[in-house]
């Protein structure tokens, strides 16, 4: 199959995207595919022309463009099938404050939040109590994210995010550990329990540094709790209108409560990424996982 591998782009997660794409290109070539590596940063103006000459596109972009649905919408214009979710679901999942509204409407457990589309006026006070997690509303990989225990710390994180032109979402710090669960097709994969080696939360360094975190798969939790994680991950996937695959992140509280944080529509595909690790647990190597994503993408286009 003639595959267009779209990676790079110009978000803050460019290097993560490129690292994953290299592994994808090697695995696809080993399976006999003809792969065209396409860096969106330099090639955006010829995306449609290039995509029209390929059988399938594999998108390995993080942040915007990519997770915002733009590339997917463009590929649909020239009838080039691709893996994963369509433009609407991608856009809703990327926008954390929009996704949390959908989670809450669907009855899924999510923490309270406050959304700041721009720097607040003088005299503003946060509605939520400290300590707070402060994040870019559409960012990923835990970039431009900080924990604020007081107003001075909060102002510093807000200034950093607004200076980059991003919106802000704030949530209370929740006690517990992080659990993540991938969806492949209509099936939930075995969850992973994440324990950062250093620091209090799963930040950028923990995610992408070698041995930055202990990622235990299957998660050492009860069968009932495993089923609950999988049930909520699939429910979030469906509530957002996603297809193909996704990965939902949760906080597992000391009382075994689960709180959904966010859903990723283009989960990482680096050597240390989570969904490939979950797939290996059920006997699917990296190449087989990519083949399954292609199969699901082709089936999705056939359904129209």
Range in 36-50, 92-106, 200-214 the model is least confident about: 200-214
Q: Per-residue pLDDT tens for 171-195? A: 999 999 999 999 999 999 999 999 9
The structure tokens 């003639």 sit at: 2
pLDDT of residue 213: 79
202 confidence band (pLDDT: 50, 70, 90)? very low
Range in 84-98, 115-129, 289-303 the model is least confident about: 289-303
What mean pLDDT is reported for the chain? Answer: 92
CATH of domain 1-81: 3.40.50.20
pLDDT of residue 211: 61
Architecture of domain 112-170: 2-Layer Sandwich (3.30)
pLDDT of residue 197: 76
d(CA 192, CA 180): 5
Q: Per-residue pLDDT tens for 4-32? A: 999 999 988 899 999 999 999 999 999 99
**209 pLDDT higher than 60:** no
Q: Which fold has domain 90-107+174-300?
A: D-amino Acid Aminotransferase; Chain A, domain 1 (3.30.470)
pLDDT higher at 142 or 166:
166
200 confidence band (pLDDT: 50, 70, 90)? low
User: Is the preceding omega at residue 65 within 30 degrees of 0, hence cis?
Assistant: yes
Q: Which residues are annotated as a binding site?
A: 249, 262, 264
Ranges in the chain annotated CATH 3.30.1490: 112-170
| Helical H segments across 182-284, by residue range | 204-208, 223-239, 274-281
**Which is nearest to 3 in space by CA: 299, 302, 293, 300?**
293
Q: What percent of the chain has pLDDT over 70?
A: 92
Q: Which residues are annotated as a binding site for Mg(2+)?
A: 249, 262, 264
> If you ran DSSP here, which 8-state letter would residue 45 be given?
G
pLDDT of residue 143: 59
> What is the mean pLDDT of the segment spanning 71-98?
97
Among all residues, which ones are annotated catalytic?
A: 13, 141, 273
205 confidence band (pLDDT: 50, 70, 90)? low
pLDDT of residue 238: 98
Q: How far apart are the first and last CA of the chain?
A: 21
For residues 148-177, one letter each, b for 16 or more C-beta atoms within 10 angstroms of the residue's C-beta and e for the rest, the string is beeeebbeebbebbbeeebbbbbbbbeebb
Which tokens in the block code for residue 214?
Answer: 């202990």
Range in 34-38, 112-116, 207-211 the model is least confident about: 207-211
Range in 8-17, 205-214, 254-263 the model is least confident about: 205-214
**Which is nearest to 268 in space by CA: 7, 2, 3, 1?**
7
pLDDT of residue 271: 66
Chain centroid to Cα 135, Å, comes to 14
> What is the mean pLDDT of the segment spanning 230-239?
98
Ranges in the chain annotated CATH 3.40.50.20: 1-81
Ranges in the chain annotated CATH 3.30.470.20: 90-107+174-300
């Amino acid at each position: 199959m003639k595959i267009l591998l779209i990676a790079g782009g110009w978000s803050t997660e460019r290097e993560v995207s490129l690292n994953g794409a290299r592994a994808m290109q090697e695995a696809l070539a080993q399976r006999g595919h003809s792969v065209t590596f396409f860096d969106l940063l330099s090639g955006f103006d010829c995306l449609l022309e290039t995509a029209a000459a390929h059988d399938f596109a594999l998108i390995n972009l993080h942040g915007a463009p990519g997770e915002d649905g733009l590339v997917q919408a463009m590929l649909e214009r020239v009838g080039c099938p691709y893996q994963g979710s369509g433009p609407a679901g991608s856009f809703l999942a990327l926008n954390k404050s929009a996704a949390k509204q959908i989670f809450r409407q669907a009855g899924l457990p999510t923490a309270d939040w406050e959304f700041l589309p721009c720097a607040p006026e003088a005299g503003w006070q946060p509605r939520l109590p400290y300590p707070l997690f402060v994040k870019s509303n559409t960012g990923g990989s835990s970039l431009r994210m900080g924990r604020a225990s007081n107003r001075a710390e909060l102002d510093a994180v807000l200034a950093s995010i607004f200076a980059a032109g991003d919106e802000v979402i704030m949530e209370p710090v929740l006690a517990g550990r992080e659990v993540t669960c991938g969806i492949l097709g209509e099936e939930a994969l075995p969850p992973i329990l994440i324990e950062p080696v250093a620091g209090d939360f799963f930040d950028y360094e923990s995610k992408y540094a070698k041995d930055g975190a202990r990622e235990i798969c299957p998660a050492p939790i009860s069968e009932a709790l495993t089923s609950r994680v999988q049930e909520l991950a699939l429910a979030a996937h469906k509530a957002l209108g996603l297809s193909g695959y996704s990965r939902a992140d949760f906080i597992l509280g000391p009382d075994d409560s689960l709180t959904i944080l966010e859903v990723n529509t283009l989960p990482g595909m680096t050597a240390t990424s989570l969904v490939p690790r979950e797939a290996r647990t059920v006997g699917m190597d990296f190449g087989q996982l990519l083949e399954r994503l292609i199969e699901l993408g082709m089936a999705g286009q056939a359904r129209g």
